[in-house]
Structure 1
Amino acid sequence: MGRVLAIDIGGTKLAAALVDADGSAARSATRPTPRTEVMAALAGLIGEVVGDGPAPLAVGIGCAGPINVADGTVSPVNMPSWRGFPLRDEVRELTGAPAVLAGDAQCFALGEHWLGSGRGSSALLGIVVSTGIGGGLVIDGAPLLGPTGNAGHVGHMTIDPYGELCECGGRGCVERYASGPNLARWALANGWKAPDGEPADARTLAAGAARGEPVPVAAFERGARALAGMIASTAAAVEVTRVVIGGGVSAAGRVLFEPLDRALDEVAGLAFVRAVEVQPTTLGVRAALAGAARLAWDHHATTR
């Protein structure tokens, strides 16, 4: 029957896999994302995964954004050597297979819908809480990409119009309150100090919150309330029925999810908003690659 090639491109890691129709990976590999010559590294990775075998039936690409699915270009914030880079066409030429592109967080949502915590959901919001905050929507089994491919950019929804300026140029964005670096930034500004020899990052902060330290607990409660406002607003607009949260910050576990549940109870009003189920990822770092594979299989089914 053949296989598709799934590619996941992020600021720190490149990953690729040959994937069967049931979602199982026949062969996979990863390598660090270089600061320059990213395409050369990606070509080497693809060669390692595909080898001397037949060309894949299709290629699904999940990439950090911003992206433009209309012309197949990407301009990832953490990859300065790619600005308006024609990624889809480059991969198509390299592999000899049709290629389809989406954002990495959209692929995360699609992967969770196919094989993870989002199975069976008719309207899913996937959220990646990490260095930044990304998101993706899967409605009736299909990713909602929008005209340029940037739908679901929930990290830059405004939850406080009088709030802090965000790196994106907006004000009061969720990312400014709930991303890993911003959780740690707020905690440091409010008197927290990382234990000797440990980095002052979200992982160390989560360990402090798990021990009940007041400032780390308050940082996660503040971040969780921002996430809750975003989830409730998205549910009111799109009527999502399930939310799956992944990314490095989600590994904080109960110190994130318990205040998030409480905050949702406080901010959600309408019955269909209150009914939203929030769950952690079950696929973890494999979710975006699974979603890229699903993109490829769907593209193959509609073009063959």
Structure 2
Amino acid sequence: MQSHLVAALDIGGTKIAGALVDDSGRILVRAQRPTPAREDGETVMRAVEAVLAELAASPLWAGAGAVGIGSAGPVDASAGTVSPVNVPGWRGYPLVERVRRATGGLPVELVGDGVAMTAAEHWQGAARGYDNALCMVVSTGVGGGLVLGGRLHTGPTGNAGHIGHISVDLDGDPCPCGGRGCVERIASGPNIARRALENGWRPGPDGDTTAAAVAAAARAGDPVATASFERAARALAAGIAATATLVEIDVAVIGGGVAGAGEVLFAPLRRFIRDYATLSFVQRLTVAPALTGTDAGLLGAAAAATPAARGRAPVTFSG
């Protein structure tokens, strides 16, 4: 029987993924369901329970000592609740208690999805070896997390580094979070696609209107698609540079579905970083694509729960 396994959950606006992960970061069992994001809170919870039930059906489940959750935010790790902007049925939802109940009382650790991705990238990815890093998930939403002084910095409620909801356009569009001109409102996948469509871009014969389709059009030279990605890159650069100036990070790691656009995103992002990160102590800031891919949320959730599984002080994810 495997020992020291962790059940990991990665909860976002599009999918709920689960896995059994060992202490070396190997994913041994997987499960996944679509997120019924527009349904009521209990319907969303039933999807979470279905993922957990599929994991529990594995003979390896007996080796699981804890559950780690990386959830779209904001989260309140101190209260065990979540209020994801893209899942309106969950507001102050007691996710930790519900998952603990569904798993027969296993210890549960909750972090935001950006913090989970940060833990994964600092443990096994592009932020490995850096003592000060910002890691970002740019997908349906935009999340982030910080490593400061070689340690994961989560803040009191687990939301430190939540760069998606800082304003980079004071007169910009209202954001579902209640703010205006947020990084997420400009740089998330749905908003890249929305802006391209509003400015005259039209999808191909397959009718695909996702950010991936906009990226493909930009790669083929479509000026409207290119402009939408450049606007997203500028927003990301402004947010990253502001963060670097505030806390002196050495690297910004970008993951999530939008990062799959490759140089369509990263070429203008690196260019705009030079425009915004102008002070001497941030000019050497590095921007890099994430390495842990679509498993970042699961690996980071597992890393966050490892202390509970082993009954010792939190790990620092310093490699």
* Counterparts of 1:280 and 1:302, CA distance in 2: 30
* Counterparts of 1:132 and 1:33, CA distance in 2: 14
Answering whether residue 308 of structure 2 is matched by residue 302 of structure 1, we say no
**Greater Cα shift, 37-46 or 96-105:** 37-46
Alignment correspondent of 1:18: 20
Choose from 202, 209, 219 the match for 1:210: 219
* Counterparts of 1:258 and 1:42, CA distance in 2: 37
Answering whether residue 198 of structure 2 is matched by residue 189 of structure 1, we say yes
* Counterparts of 1:92 and 1:157, CA distance in 2: 32
Choose from 110, 131, 134 the match for 1:122: 131
- Cα-to-partner distance string for 1:29-70 (whole Å, 9 max, x where unaligned): 222234453333323322322335425222211111221111
Alignment correspondent of 1:266: 275
Q: Residue type matched to 1:6 in 2?
A: A
* Counterparts of 2:99 and 2:151, CA distance in 1: 23
Alignment correspondent of 1:72: 80
Which residues in structure 2 correspond to 1:48-87 (within 5 Å)?
A: 48-51=54-57, 52=59, 53-54=61-62, 56-87=64-95
Q: Residue type matched to 2:56 in 1?
A: V
Alignment correspondent of 1:42: 48
Answering whether residue 171 of structure 2 is matched by residue 165 of structure 1, we say no
Answering whether residue 16 of structure 2 is matched by residue 5 of structure 1, we say no
Cα displacement (A) at 1:141 = 4.2
In structure 2, the CA distance between the partners of 1:168 and 1:76, relative to structure 1 (3 Å rule), is closer
- Cα-to-partner distance string for 1:241-280 (whole Å, 9 max, x where unaligned): 1111111111111111001111111221123312111111
SS in 2 for 1:93: helix
The answer on whether the counterparts of 1:55 and 1:97 sit within 8 Å (CA) in structure 2 is: no
* Counterparts of 1:237 and 1:131, CA distance in 2: 26
Answering whether residue 98 of structure 2 is matched by residue 93 of structure 1, we say no
Q: State the Cα RMSD in Å.
A: 1.9
* Counterparts of 2:34 and 2:63, CA distance in 1: 24
Cα displacement (A) at 1:295 = 0.3
Q: Residue type matched to 1:21 in 2?
A: D
* Counterparts of 2:182 and 2:93, CA distance in 1: 27
- Cα-to-partner distance string for 1:128-167 (whole Å, 9 max, x where unaligned): 1122211111224433222222221211111122333323
Cα displacement (A) at 1:79 = 3.1
SS in 2 for 1:137: strand
* Counterparts of 1:273 and 1:198, CA distance in 2: 42
The answer on whether the counterparts of 1:198 and 1:204 sit within 8 Å (CA) in structure 2 is: no
* Counterparts of 1:182 and 1:63, CA distance in 2: 20
In structure 2, the CA distance between the partners of 1:170 and 1:30, relative to structure 1 (3 Å rule), is same
* Counterparts of 1:234 and 1:212, CA distance in 2: 32
**Greater Cα shift, 190-199 or 153-162:** 190-199
In structure 2, the CA distance between the partners of 1:298 and 1:275, relative to structure 1 (3 Å rule), is farther
* Counterparts of 1:266 and 1:25, CA distance in 2: 40
SS in 1 for 2:136: strand
* Counterparts of 2:47 and 2:234, CA distance in 1: 40
Percent of pairs with identical residues: 50
* Counterparts of 2:210 and 2:45, CA distance in 1: 31
SS in 1 for 2:17: strand
SS in 2 for 1:302: coil
- Cα-to-partner distance string for 1:93-118 (whole Å, 9 max, x where unaligned): 33222111011121011111111111
Runs of 4+ in 1 over 4 A off after TM superposition: none
Which residues in structure 2 correspond to 1:194-273 (within 5 Å)?
A: 194-273=203-282
User: Which 5+ residue runs of structure 1 have no aligned equivalent?
Assistant: none
In structure 2, the CA distance between the partners of 1:174 and 1:78, relative to structure 1 (3 Å rule), is closer
Which residues in structure 2 correspond to 1:135-150 (within 5 Å)?
A: 135-150=144-159
